[in-house]
Chain A
Amino acid sequence: MIRALVLFAALAIFPLVMQAMDALFYVSFASRVLIYAIAATSLNLVLGYGGMVSFGHAAFFGAGAFVVGILAVEGVRSAWIAWPAAIAVAALAALVIGAMSLRTRGVYFIMITLAFAQMMYYIFVSLKAYGGDDGLSMPGRSTIGFDVNLRNDLVWYYIVLALLAAVLYGLHRLVHSRFGRVIDAIRENEARAEAIGFPVYRYKLLCFVISGAVAGLAGALIANQSSYVSPSLLHWIQSGTLMIMVILGGVGTLWGGVIGAAVLLLLEHLIADYRIGWLAALAPNYQDHAGLAVGIVLLTIVMLAPEGIAGLFKGRRHA
């Protein structure tokens, strides 16, 4: 608890320091990291705590973003309407997709969530009225009234930070509630939880819907971050990226999503924007190939830390 407060205090001071150093770019970058932290945390709820390997989480993230984007283009700019709408649509999508997917197990669950996400991706790609392939430019960020201007990057950062804090606190309360214990039990041994008398399917579905709703919130924020929504937010590579963040940071840990999002985005940023002398001497164009380094780092972590990931999933390998 103390550590969390210290961390949030540091995050709250960060933009002021950056402003003093005249490096406001980093405030905008940090907001992006915090938004991805919310998205990754939502995935961590189903993946880490619920043990459901959803490979289609970008669907809910992207759906939330598109709801805000489409409403903004249609003239509804108020965050009080657009953001809850994004959360509701993402939750509804998660309810429908989850209700069907959760009847399957193991590999089939991974594949069917992937298939549903691809479906959503193609639906948004073919929405020619709202940009289609090219994406959708919004007239600006949402408005929240009270003379607060979200277009100011500092204000925006604090809004995102507050929402992340709320999400983390909510997750903390959720996993320590009775609901969280049941989800724990289902992950550890589904048959036993069923035998004890818990309605396993309904618990898993609720967990999936909550996670989808939070991903929708993250989507609403990412749409506002750059005032632009692209179907690539729903692409399966995006689902994979969110999954990487969760694994990097720690599956089934409160801070996993936050740490993973920060590490991955910082790594990409450092490689693309900082020139390391000796590396540039070896390979002049290495900065154009950030994916290579991300891939190698990821592969190393996966190969060299077998128990780190597998330990949490022991005894639950299904064919």
Chain B
Amino acid sequence: MSAILFLEQSLNGVQFGLMLFLLAAGLTLVFGIMDMINLAHGSLYMIGAYFMASFVQATGSFWLGLPLALGATALVGAALEISLLRRLYGRDHLTQVLATFAIILIANEAVRIAWGSQPIMLNPPAALTGPVTLPGGLQYASYRLLIIGVGAAVALALYVLVTRTRVGMLVRAGASNREMAVAMGVDIRRLFTVVFALGAALCALAGAMLGPILAVQVGMGENILILAFVVIVIGGIGSIRGAFVGSLLVGIVDTSGRAFLPLAFGAFLPPQFASAAGPAIASVLIYVLMAGVLYFRPQGLFPARG
């Protein structure tokens, strides 16, 4: 195992973790403030990626398509919140799971009707297709570096938004004690809609950025949704800081597990066993992590409710 390989896998892990954070941030706020399980969050990610594909094709430019896709997905998110999800806040979790599960089914079919069943290819901007040489001699795809940059910038912006602005203060108040926030005169309904639209835009950003790396296809939101849930349960529901730490943890553990476990197993075990057990254990690693965190710290690493 060379240093270069290690560095490359670490960067891949950070890149994946930051994209997970974009999803997990919206999800944890919705979960924390509104006490609402939203399975349809992954659908917004899918819709964002499809909008991106269409807008890039229509405008011919990655950089024009991106804000359009973000705006359109935010609108879809706000519309969804106002028309349906708003009615679910007071209901039990089982109802929320079912209603949002139904929204997933509807969203998948709607996308199939609008865009067809075939995966859509999305190209990265022309200037960023090649690799760059990092210090230390590592050749790394420049588009992946862009993803890391965007993810880090958004994480920083979110941190400032939540800790330094008035909206952020209201969000934190809502997450730590909703009833008290309402009693102090916070217009929680409007806040919910704003938070939800913001969460949808973050989903779209993740979908748009990951689009060129993964295929844009129906059902793409479902697998990453489960990962985002793992992240927020590890991090502590309602905590942006927890979502950030959890995302990086899950991203790095998952990526490096897949890269290194088969190698490590190969060093100790007979090859036919290592080639079977390595990938199997690598893919369950993050769930083991989550089960471990829940077992020892049921409230997650950074609980938002004091």
Tell whether, in the assembled complex, residue A296 and residue B298 are in contact, meaning their CB atoms are under 8 Å apart.
Answer: no
**In the assembled complex, B6 has its CB within 8 A of some CB on chain A:** no
Residues of chain B lying within 8 A (CB to CB) of residue A106: 93
Contact of B105 among A122, A129, A292 (CB under 8 A): A292
Contact with A along B23-52 (1 / 0, CB 8 A): 000000001000101000000000000000
- Report how far A243 CA is from B288 CA in the complex, Å: 24
Name the residue on B nearest A316 (C-beta): B92
The total of chain B residues at the interface (CB under 8 A) is: 43
* Nearest CB in chain B: distance from A100 CB, A: 6
Could you tell me the distance in whole angstroms from the C-beta of B144 to the nearest C-beta in chain A? 25
> Is the CB of A303 closer than 8 A to any CB of chain B?
yes
**A309: interface (CB < 8 Å):** yes
Q: Digit string of A102-138 for contact with B (CB within 8 Å is 1, else 0)?
A: 0111111011101110110011011111000000000
* A53 engages B99 (CB within 8 Å): no
Which positions 75-112 of chain A face chain B at CB distance < 8 Å?
A: 100, 103-108, 110-112
| A residues 129-155 in Cβ contact with B at 8 Å | 129
Q: Which residues of B contact A129 (CB under 8 A)?
A: 276
What residues on B are CB-neighbors of A316 within 8 Å? 92
| CB pair B291 A116 closer than 8 Å | yes
Tell me, yes or no, whether B141 is within 8 Å of chain A by CB.
no
Query: B295 — which chain A residues lie within 8 A by C-beta?
Result: 100, 103
How many Å lie between the Cα of A153 and that of B27 in the bound state?
A: 47
A3 within 8 A of B: no
Partner of A237, one of B84, B222, B291: B222
Is B63 positioned at the interface, with any CB of A under 8 Å from its CB? no
Q: Indicate if the CB atoms of A303 and B294 lie closer than 8 Å.
A: no
A289 x B112 contact (CB < 8 A): yes
Contacts of B190 in A (CB 8 A): none
Q: Which of B94, B97, B283 has the most CB of A within 10 A?
A: B94
Chain B residues positioned under 8 Å from A178 (CB to CB): none
Question: In the complex, what distance in Å separates the CA atom of A294 from the CA atom of B288?
Answer: 34
* Cα of A296 to Cα of B104 in the assembled complex, Å: 11
Per-residue interface assignment for chain A, residues 46 to 89, with 1 indicating a CB less than 8 Å from any chain B CB and 0 otherwise: 01000001010000000000000000000000000000000000
Interfacial residues of chain B within 58-86, with CB under 8 A of chain A in the complex? 84
Q: List 19 A-B residue pairs with CB atoms under 8 Å apart, sorted by A's residue number.
A: A53-B93, A100-B295, A103-B295, A107-B237, A110-B37, A111-B233, A112-B233, A118-B287, A123-B283, A125-B283, A126-B276, A244-B98, A295-B106, A296-B106, A302-B99, A303-B84, A309-B94, A310-B91, A319-B35
Interface residues of A (CB under 8 A from B): 47, 53, 55, 100, 103-108, 110-112, 114-116, 118-119, 122-123, 125-129, 236-237, 240, 243-244, 247, 251, 285, 288-289, 291-292, 294-296, 298-299, 302-303, 306, 309-310, 313, 316-317, 319
- The 9 lowest CB-CB distance pairs between A and B, nearest first, are A295-B105, A292-B109, A126-B280, A295-B106, A122-B283, A299-B102, A298-B102, A119-B287, A119-B284
